[in-house]
Amino acid sequence: MHMADALISPPVGAAMWAVSAATIAYSSAKIRKGLDDHVTPLMGVLGAFLFAAQMINFSIPATGSSGHLGGGLLLAILLGPHAAFLTLASVLVVQALFFADGGILALGCNIFNIGFIPAFIVYPLVYKQLIGTAQNSTRQKTAIILSAMIALQLGPLCVVLETCLSGISALPFSTFLLFMQPIHLAIGIVEGIITLAIVSFVRKARPEILLDALAARPVDPHPVKKLVLAFLAAAIITGGLVSWFASENPDGLEWAIAKVTGQEALQGATGIHTALATLQEKSALLPDYSIKAKTAAAPTDPYGRWGTTASGLLGVLLTLSGITLSGIALRKTAALSRKPLPSGEYGSGR
Amino acid sequence: MIDNSIMDFRQLDLLAGGDSVIHRLDPRTKVLVTLAFIIAVVSFDRYALGALLPFVLFPVATMAIANLPVGFFAAKVMLVSLVAVAIGIFNPLLDSQVLVRIGNVGISAGWVSFGSIILRSALTITAALLLTATTGFSAICQALGRLGMPEVFVRQLQFMYRYLFVLTEEAQRMARARELRSFGKGGQGIRALSSMVGHLLLRTWERAERIHIAMRCRGFNGRMAASCSTGFGLVDLLFLLGWITLFTLLRLYDLPRLIGDTIMTLTL
C-alpha cells in the first residue's frame, strides 16, 4: 500500500527521504563499481516489466476481488539487492509523478516500505538464509513464500508506524495495526505463491538466468553492518536537521490534547513554550475555536454566537473567489500572449 | 485499467510538450517550487482547513498560465484521493470533540481534520501531476540529476521510461488475449497470471540482452551522454523566490481568517 502525502508530516517524510536517498546513493555506487554494463539495460527494462506486470490483474479465488503482483522479492531474486532496489525505486518515482500514487513527499516512505524492505532486509536476512542449495526443493519453495510474507508484513507495519508518527490520521496505532496486518498476511501468501510460480517458470525455461543471478553476487560478508552504520549516520543527521522544524510545528495530537484539557497556560511557563505558543497561534487555524466557545467563552467572543465562524467563513469565501478570479484572469492574459498554434502541431514531437 | 494508465501517460506527455512561460522554466525551478509547495502544505497541523485554502492559488495559477485542462486534473485527483479518504474517514468516528460551531450546529474535530486530509490530498496530488504535465519526465530526471541524484539512478529512470510504453502495450495485449479466452470467469486466476508474467519476464529479459548488444555495437561503455538544454535564468530566480516567499507567508499567517476578521471589525 502506498503512503499518501496527505497523511504524513514533514519530519517523517524528510527522515524517510533521507534514508531512501542514502540507499539510492549507496546502491548506485555499488552498481557503478560493478563494471557489469549489461545490468544497465536489464534494470531499465525490468523496471518497465514490473510496471506492466502490476497492471495485469488476477481474480482471487472465493472472494470475487482481484489483486496484482508486487514484485519486490521477485526482482531481488533476479537482480540482487542493489539493482532490485534501484529498479523498484524507479517504478515508484514514475508512479508518484504520473499517477500521483503516494506523492512526492511520501516517496521516501514508499521507497523504503516497498523497495528497501524486500531488497535489503528480507532478501539478505530471510531469503538468503533459508534458500539452501538444493534446486526446486520444498525448502526453496517455503523460503520464497515465507520471504514474501515477511516482506508484506514489514511493509504495512512501516506504513502504520509512519502514519501514526505523523499524527494526521486519528487512527490509534493498535487499531490500524490490527486492520492492516491480517489483510497483508493474505496478500503476502498470494504474492509468495505467484513469486514462486514465476521463479519456477524461469528456472524451467532459462535456468541460466537464475544461476547467473546467484553466481554473479557472492555474498558480501559485511553489507548489513555497513548499511546499518550508514543509516544510523543518516538518522542522526536528519534527526538534528528535522528537530528544529518539528519543534516549530508542535505535533497535532499534543496540540489537541492541550486544547481539550486547557493546559496551554500551564505549560506556557518557560520562554520557549510561550514563543512556541505565539507561533502556534499564528500558524494554526481556528486557534480559539475550541471548547471555550461551547462553555464559558461566549462573552469573550467579540462578534456574538455567529461571529467567530462567520468571520472565518467570510474569509474563506473571499480567498477562494479571489483565487478563482485570478485564475480566470491569468488564463485570459496567457491566452492573449500565446501565439496561436497551427493545427496538428500541438505538442507532438518533443 | 491498462488502457487508462497508458492514456494518462500519453496525456501528461502531450501536455508537457506544450509551450508557455511555465513550460519554458528550468526544470530544476519547477521541481524545487513543487517540493516547497508540498512541504508547506503538509506542515500544517491536522486541524488546519481554512489556512490551507490560499494554497489553491498555486495549482490554479499554474493551470491558468500553462493552459492545462482543469477537468483532467480534477478527475485524476478524485480517483487518487480514495486512499487518503479511506484512512481519513476514521477521523470523524474517533475524534468527536466539537471544534467549530456554526450557529447551533457543532462540527467535530474529526470532520475538520477529515476535511483537512482531503484538501491536503487534493493539493499534493495536483502539484505532483502539474510538475509532470509542465515539465515532462525526462526533463525532471535531468533536473534531479543536476540537483545531485546519482547518475546511475537518473539513467535507470530514463531507461525505464523509454521502455514503459513498449512493455505496457505488450502486457495489455496479453491481458486482452486472456480475457478473450476466459469469458469473464475461469482462467483469470493465479496460475494463468504466473505463466503470463513468466513469459513477459522472459521476453523482457531477451529484449534487454538484445538492447545490450545493440548498445555495445554503438560503443556503450557503461556511461550515457547527457545533454543540458536549459539554464537557470532571471525568470527562474524570480519564480522560485516569489512562490517560496508566498508559501512562507501563507504558512505563517492565516489569510482567510485575517480577511474575515478585518471585514468584521470594519462592519461592526
The predicted-structure confidence for A228-254, as pLDDT tens digits, reads as follows 555 555 555 554 444 444 433 444 334
Do residue A242 and residue A118 come from a single domain? yes
Over residues A26-58, the pLDDT tens digits come to 998 888 887 677 788 888 889 988 888 888 777
pTM of the model: 0.76
Instruction: Give the three cell numbers for residue B210.
Output: 538484445
Rounded distance between C-alpha atoms, residue A151 and residue A157, angstroms: 10
B190-216: b (≥16 Cβ within 10 Å) or e: bebbbebbbebbbebbebbeebbeebe
Q: Do B42 and A309 touch (CB under 8 A)?
A: no
pLDDT for the residue numbered A299 = 42
pLDDT for the residue numbered A349 = 41
The answer to the question of residue A328 being in a domain is yes
In angstroms and rounded to an integer, the radius of gyration of the C-alpha atoms of chain B is 24
Do residue A31 and residue A88 come from a single domain? yes
Q: Do B54 and A42 touch (CB under 8 A)?
A: no
Nearest to B263 among A44, A314, A316 (CB): A314
Residue A195 has pLDDT above 80, yes or no: yes
Q: Do A330 and B110 touch (CB under 8 A)?
A: no
Chain A: closest CA distance from residue B214 (Å): 10
Mean pLDDT, rounded, for B128-154: 88
pLDDT for the residue numbered A22 = 92
pLDDT for the residue numbered A348 = 43
Q: Which residue has the higher pLDDT, B250 or A272?
A: B250
Q: Do A291 and B95 touch (CB under 8 A)?
A: no
CB contact, 8 Å: A335 with chain B? Answer: yes
Please report which confidence band the pLDDT of residue B228 belongs to, taking 50, 70 and 90 as the band edges. low
Q: What is the DSSP letter of A338?
A: S
Please report which confidence band the pLDDT of residue B31 belongs to, taking 50, 70 and 90 as the band edges. very high
pLDDT for the residue numbered B209 = 87
> Do residues A127 and A73 lie in contact, with contact meaning Cβ atoms separated by under 8 Å?
yes
Half-sphere exposure (Cβ direction) of A266: Cα atoms closer than 13 Å: 6
The answer to the question of residue A345 being in a domain is no
Which residues in chain B have their CB less than 8 angstroms from residue A334's CB?
20-21, 64-67
pLDDT for the residue numbered A276 = 46
CA B242 to chain centre: 22
Chain B residue nearest residue A75, CA to CA: B201
Do residue A268 and residue A315 come from a single domain? no
Residue B247 has pLDDT above 50, yes or no: yes
The answer to the question of residue A256 being in a domain is no
pLDDT for the residue numbered B20 = 86
Do residue A201 and residue A281 come from a single domain? no
Mean pLDDT check: name the lowest of A43-57, A191-205, A262-276: A262-276
Rounded distance between C-alpha atoms, residue B128 and residue B80, angstroms: 12
A277-282's contacts with Cβ under 8 Å and 24+ in sequence apart are A279/A248, A280/A250, A280/A255, A282/B252, A282/B253, A282/B254
pLDDT for the residue numbered A174 = 85
pLDDT for the residue numbered B220 = 75
Bridge partners (DSSP) of residue B100 are B107
Rounded distance between C-alpha atoms, residue A72 and residue A116, angstroms: 9
The answer to the question of residue A331 being in a domain is yes
What does the domain layout of chain B look like in residue ranges?
Answer: 2-147+233-267, 151-217
pLDDT, averaged across chain B:
84
Q: Do B220 and A37 touch (CB under 8 A)?
A: yes
Residue matched to cell numbers 521502455: B163
Mean pLDDT, rounded, for A100-127: 89
Q: Which residue has the higher pLDDT, A232 or B74?
A: B74
Q: Do A40 and B19 touch (CB under 8 A)?
A: no
Over residues A284-315, the pLDDT tens digits come to 443 333 333 333 334 444 445 555 667 767 77
Nearest to B101 among A2, A170, A294 (CB): A294
Residue A221 has pLDDT above 50, yes or no: no
Instruction: Decide if the complex's ipTM is over 0.90.
Output: no
Do residue A228 and residue A270 come from a single domain? no
Q: Which residue has the higher pLDDT, B34 or B186?
A: B34
CB contact, 8 Å: A296 with chain B? Answer: no
pLDDT for the residue numbered A284 = 42
Over residues A323-348, the pLDDT tens digits come to 888 888 887 887 777 655 554 444 44
Do residue A54 and residue A113 come from a single domain? yes
Q: Do B212 and A303 touch (CB under 8 A)?
A: no
> Do residues A289 and A309 lie in contact, with contact meaning Cβ atoms separated by under 8 Å?
yes
Chain A residue nearest residue B5, CA to CA: A99
Which residues in chain B have their CB less than 8 angstroms from residue A10's CB?
39, 42-43
Which residues in chain B have their CB less than 8 angstroms from residue A96's CB?
128
Nearest to B65 among A253, A309, A330 (CB): A330
The answer to the question of residue A21 being in a domain is yes
pLDDT for the residue numbered A61 = 64
Residue A222 has pLDDT above 80, yes or no: no
Q: Do A284 and B48 touch (CB under 8 A)?
A: yes
Mean pLDDT check: name the lowest of A232-236, A296-300, A317-321, B242-246: A296-300
Over residues A124-182, the pLDDT tens digits come to 888 888 887 766 678 888 999 999 999 999 988 998 888 888 888 878 888 888 888 88
Chain B: closest CA distance from residue A157 (Å): 15
Rounded distance between C-alpha atoms, residue B180 and residue B89, angstroms: 39
C-alpha distance from residue B167 to each of A160, B190, B215 (Å): 33, 20, 19
String of DSSP letters for A91-146: HHHHHHHHS-SS-STTHHHHIIIIIIIIIIIIIIIIIHHH--SSTT-HHHHHHHHH
pLDDT for the residue numbered A183 = 85
Mean pLDDT check: name the lowest of A79-93, B11-25, B103-117: B103-117
- When divided into structural domains, chain A yields a total of 3
Do residue A156 and residue A26 come from a single domain? yes
Nearest to A49 among B35, B191, B201 (CB): B201
Do residue A135 and residue A170 come from a single domain? yes
> Do residues A5 and B121 lie in contact, with contact meaning Cβ atoms separated by under 8 Å?
yes
Residue matched to cell numbers 519547477: B30
pLDDT for the residue numbered B148 = 86
Residue B36 has pLDDT above 90, yes or no: yes
> Do residues B256 and A318 lie in contact, with contact meaning Cβ atoms separated by under 8 Å?
yes
CB contact, 8 Å: A70 with chain B? Answer: no
Phi-psi region of A235 (alpha: psi -120 to 50; beta: other; left: phi over 0): alpha
pLDDT for the residue numbered A118 = 92
pLDDT for the residue numbered B166 = 87
pLDDT for the residue numbered A40 = 81
> Which of A31, A303, A319 to mutate to probe the B interface, most B CBs <10 Å?
A319
Q: Which residue has the higher pLDDT, A73 or A265?
A: A73
Q: Do A97 and B257 touch (CB under 8 A)?
A: no
Mean pLDDT, rounded, for A68-73: 85
End-to-end CA distance of chain A: 34
pLDDT for the residue numbered A208 = 79
pLDDT for the residue numbered A300 = 45
Do residue A93 and residue A145 come from a single domain? yes
Chain A residue nearest residue B169, CA to CA: A52
Mean pLDDT check: name the lowest of A179-193, A308-322, B74-88: A308-322
Nearest to A318 among B65, B157, B259 (CB): B259
Q: Do A4 and B83 touch (CB under 8 A)?
A: yes
The answer to the question of residue A180 being in a domain is yes
The answer to the question of residue A350 being in a domain is no
The answer to the question of residue A267 being in a domain is yes
Chain B residue nearest residue A200, CA to CA: B198
pLDDT for the residue numbered B238 = 92
Nearest to B152 among A31, A45, A103 (CB): A31
> Do residues A149 and A186 lie in contact, with contact meaning Cβ atoms separated by under 8 Å?
no
pLDDT for the residue numbered B194 = 84
pLDDT for the residue numbered B240 = 92
Chain B residue nearest residue A311, CA to CA: B260
Mean pLDDT, rounded, for B237-254: 91
Residue B109 has pLDDT above 90, yes or no: no
Chain B: closest CA distance from residue A298 (Å): 12
Which residues in chain A have their CB less than 8 angstroms from residue B152's CB?
27-29, 31-32, 86
Rounded distance between C-alpha atoms, residue A312 and residue A140, angstroms: 63
* Cβ pairs bridging A and B (under 8 Å): 436
pLDDT for the residue numbered A290 = 36
Do residue A166 and residue A139 come from a single domain? yes
CB atoms within 10 A of CB B153: 23
Domain range spanning residue A155? 5-248
pLDDT for the residue numbered A283 = 45
> Do residues A306 and B103 lie in contact, with contact meaning Cβ atoms separated by under 8 Å?
yes
